[in-house]
Structure 1
Amino acid sequence: MKKSALINSELSYLVSTLGHTDEVTICDAGLPIPEETLRIDLALTLGVPSFLQTVKVYLSEAQIEGVLLAEEFKRVSPAAHDALMDLIDAEAKATHKPISVTYVSHEEFKVRTQDSKAVVRTGECTPYANVIFQSGVVF
């Protein structure tokens, strides 16, 4: 049995197959997911698992170098946004690597999810609690 925090087989496989600059979206329960994009649906019920729980576990396994967020996230859901930014800052410090943060409109964000290798759906119900992570390298 796998020893690290991430035991979901689909998500673990996804992380192990990422290349430099590949993108993965982690989203709330309501974000539309393009038909052609791999969907890893973790949602059980409203709020379970949460967006932040899922992000924490993802960051425990994946090296990231960039983050894409909707501009609306920090304005409409500032507490969730700030909690995510705390996780991003902690990850940058822990890995000693900078992580760029870019904001786009929510409409542009939804279009950009089409470029993701996969979209991971959580049970989160906080508006705009969505992030696109760009894969980095560990060396």
Structure 2
Amino acid sequence: MQRHGILNSHIAKVLADLGHTDTICISDCGLPVPEGVQKIDLALDFGVPSFEQVVSVIAKHMKSEAVHVATEIKENNPKAYNFLESTFPSDQYEWIETSHEAFKEATKQCKCIIRTGEASPYANIILRADCIFSDRP
């Protein structure tokens, strides 16, 4: 049994199995999950757990080099966008912004989609794994 780390065994396994440039998605409760992509469903109720809670925990335990969001998040969910900007500063992470349709297409390549209870628009992010021995934080 682990002393530290992520308690959810499915998420812990996905993170342990990631290689450099593999991607995972953390989503709101409405994002469609493509056929063949593993869904780890954490949603209990609207807002529980929140997008911010789940992203914060994953960010502590996953070494990422890039974040991918839908451009629509800026205008339609500035609170989530500002949270992501502060969590993943653009001087330390590559930022990829595409249309929501292109974002959904990109989820087809993700190792998993972690579904939160978030019920605000466009609260979705794809994280690209970094090499664990690189110089980035």
Fold shared per TM-score above 0.5:
yes
Q: Residue type of the partner of 1:39?
A: K
Identical residues among aligned pairs (%): 40
Q: Which residue of 1 aligns with 2:44?
A: 44
- Number of residue pairs aligned between Structure 1 and Structure 2: 133
Alignment counterpart, residue 123 of structure 1, candidates 97, 100, 117: 117
Which whole-Å CA distance do the structure 2 matches of 1:79 and 1:132 have between them? Answer: 18
Describe the SS at the equivalent of 2:122. coil
1:64 equivalent in alignment to 2:64: yes
Q: Residue type of the partner of 2:73?
A: F
Describe the SS at the equivalent of 1:56. helix
Q: What's the RMSD between the two structures over aligned residues? A: 1.3
CA shift digits 1:12-42 (9 cap, x unpaired): 0000000000000000000000121000101
Contact 1:5 1:57 in 2 (8 A): no
Which whole-Å CA distance do the structure 2 matches of 1:99 and 1:4 have between them? Answer: 25
CA shift digits 1:99-120 (9 cap, x unpaired): 1011000000001100001110
Which whole-Å CA distance do the structure 2 matches of 1:16 and 1:45 have between them? Answer: 28
Question: TM-score under structure 2 normalisation?
Answer: 0.93
Give ranges in structure 2 of 5+ residues lacking alignment: none
Higher normalized helix content (fraction of residues):
1
Describe the SS at the equivalent of 2:39. strand
Q: Which residue of 2 aligns with 1:113?
A: 107
Shift of 1:5: 4.1
Shift of 1:138: 2.0
Shift >6 Å, 4+ stretches: none
Give ranges in structure 1 of 5+ residues lacking alignment: none
Describe the SS at the equivalent of 2:88. helix
